[in-house]
Amino acid sequence: MNLEPVIQNLVFGLFVGGLYGIAAVGLSLVFGVQKVLNVAHGSLIMLGGYATFWLFTWYGIDPFLSILLTGPLLFAFGMALYLGMFQFITRLGEEERIKNSLLISFGLTLVLENVAIRLWTADERAVTTSYAGDGITIEGIAFPYTRVASLIVAAIGVFVLHTFLTRTFAGKAIRATSEDWEAASLMGINVQRTYVVAFALGTAMAGMAGALVSVSYLVAPSIGLAWTLKALVVVVLAGMGSILGAFAAGILLGLVEALSIYVVGASYREVVGLLLFVLVLLVRPQGLFGRH
């Protein structure tokens, strides 16, 4: 059996899994800290993709460098979204918070998608750099520069976020609030400010994911739902609130989908990911990397 096509598919599965992981990290952070299920997360990824596209089209800014602009832009937008819409539901109980956040974020998804269509039409856009299509080949296995760079940048972004959460006072405040907001409040932590920062960070990570997605995929107003569903699958696989686990679960999902082509065919690749999702829910409801 010729293993070269199998290895090539696994390599591309690794690259795609890196995108799944970075797409899920922001959603995992927001839910882990605030118990807010933001199903508009994919639409925020879409906005990050459009921001990257226009920065590249108008000013010639490389999509990987544009993350330095799209990240802060989406951070500010996330703060505005939280203060304008989501802060009112964080005073509710956990069950009511999840239900209301679903309603609000679903409405937000419709608004953002229709605003994007109004501003930029429904046409698909692509970020095509001068090095798109180039790469290196090692033992017959192709490694496109854009895919390799996307994986590396995604890993760096997740590592920086993890370091922030574990090594800084603000990050430790976020972690403490996610564990027990009442105890954190008694210890002098400003819980509401922590919520704002956590939500804005999750939105900034969506912007970063959008920048990386725009390099490998087409950007259109309709891509939000697909990326929300993929991020939700990864978050459940990893366990709610697990940052490094979400990235690892994304890579795992990408590899499983790549291998499934040889078992069920390319047409049913997405189904295999959903079956893995259901299996994990049945066998280990807290996720592969979550705690009881």
Judge whether residue 110 has pLDDT over 80: yes
Is 55 within a domain?
Answer: yes
What's at 29, amino acid-wise?
L
Judge whether residue 204 has pLDDT over 70: yes
CA distances (Å), 188 to each of 35, 90, 168, 192, 200, in order?
21, 18, 16, 12, 21
What was the pLDDT predicted at 48? 97
Is 183 within a domain?
Answer: yes
Is 133 within a domain?
Answer: no
Size of the chain in residues = 292
Judge whether residue 2 has pLDDT over 80: no
Judge whether residue 278 has pLDDT over 90: no
Rounded mean pLDDT, 166-171: 93
Is 261 within a domain?
Answer: yes
> Nearest Cα to 289, choosing from 251, 241, 256, 253?
241
Domain span at 14: 4-128+138-280
What was the pLDDT predicted at 46? 97
Question: 78: helix, coil or strand?
Answer: helix
Is 289 within a domain?
Answer: no
Question: 29: helix, coil or strand?
Answer: helix
What was the pLDDT predicted at 218? 93
The vertex-104 CA angle with 100 and 105, nearest 5°, equals: 115
Judge whether residue 292 has pLDDT over 60: no
What was the pLDDT predicted at 274? 84
Judge whether residue 96 has pLDDT over 80: yes
- Give me the percent of the chain exceeding a pLDDT of 70: 98
What was the pLDDT predicted at 280? 86
What was the pLDDT predicted at 289? 80
Is 290 within a domain?
Answer: no
Q: How many domains does the chain have?
A: 1
Using one digit for the tens of pLDDT, what is the confidence trace for 76-91? 999 999 999 998 888 8
Is 291 within a domain?
Answer: no
Average pLDDT of every residue of the chain? 91
What was the pLDDT predicted at 45? 97
| pLDDT: which is higher, 267 or 130 | 130
Is 238 within a domain?
Answer: yes
> Nearest Cα to 256, choosing from 4, 17, 59?
17
| pLDDT: which is higher, 67 or 263 | 67
pTM: 0.94
Using one digit for the tens of pLDDT, what is the confidence trace for 220-257? 999 999 999 999 999 989 987 678 999 999 999 999 99
